[in-house]
Amino acid sequence: MRKDVFDINSSNKWKYLPNILTILRLLVIPVMAYLMILGKWVPGLIVFLLAGLTDILDGYIARKFNVISNFGKLADPLADKLLQLTALLLLARGGRLPRYFFYILCAKELAMIIGSLFFLQKDVVVYSNWVGKTASAILFSGIVLSFLNMLVSVYLLWIGVVVSFTAGVNYLIKFLKKINENG
């Protein structure tokens, strides 16, 4: 029997937990969507908040115990974007926020995916930074307030869109610098 599996200080026991949390986040998106379609905003918000907590927790565990995986690098941001875009779409459908937020953020995410694929072909990887994390936190907060049908959510989402696009420009500049460095 391997000692490291039972060693309290071993990172091995944490190896799969971030991926399990990411998979759980993906699995609860349809549950949240179903609740929102039924107009059950508070239960939908609770699912959204719990999914958001799994995102924070899986990132913390992955970094703390150095159990970052290729699956996690791809699935974690995908789960985050699907969660947020699903919530935005159904909040707009339910009249809790203007539809253009969904379309603006879909366009931004599509641009980020295309850009990431382009730079991936050039073997360039740029990691998230504080601007991107700030944008995510603002958008998350705006979505939470939209669940509660608070008018201030629209203003917060506009701030989130601006910070999000600023983050996108910031990432583009970093990508271009890395390409120049690599020749």
Task: Identify whether residues 103 and 43 lie together within a single domain.
Answer: no
Residue 171 has pLDDT above 90, yes or no: no
Q: Could you tell me if 94 and 38 are in contact, meaning their C-beta atoms sit under 8 angstroms apart?
A: no
- The DSSP code for 13 is G
Residue 170 has pLDDT above 60, yes or no: yes
Q: Residue 126 has what pLDDT?
A: 61
Q: Which residues span the domain enclosing 55?
A: 1-79
Task: Identify whether residues 101 and 54 lie together within a single domain.
Answer: no
Instruction: Give the tens place of pLDDT for each residue, 48-81.
Output: 999 999 999 998 898 888 888 888 888 888 899 8
Q: Residue 140 has what pLDDT?
A: 95
Q: Is residue 37 part of a domain?
A: yes
Q: Residue 29 has what pLDDT?
A: 97
Q: Could you tell me if 92 and 102 are in contact, meaning their C-beta atoms sit under 8 angstroms apart?
A: yes
Q: Is residue 89 part of a domain?
A: no
Alpha carbon 182 to chain centroid, angstroms: 29
Task: Identify whether residues 34 and 61 lie together within a single domain.
Answer: yes
Task: Identify whether residues 145 and 181 lie together within a single domain.
Answer: yes
Q: Is residue 2 part of a domain?
A: yes
Closest of 68, 161, 58, 156 to residue 106, by C-alpha: 161
Instruction: Give the tens place of pLDDT for each residue, 98-132.
Output: 999 999 989 988 887 787 777 777 776 666 778 88
Task: Pick 129 or 28 by higher pLDDT.
Answer: 28
Q: Structurally, how many domains does the chain consist of?
A: 2
Residue 151 has pLDDT above 90, yes or no: yes
Q: Residue 183 has what pLDDT?
A: 62
Q: Is residue 91 part of a domain?
A: no
Final residue before a domain boundary, out of 19, 48, 79: 79
Crossing angle of helices 41-64 and 130-147, in 10° steps, is 160
Q: What is the mean pLDDT of the chain?
A: 86
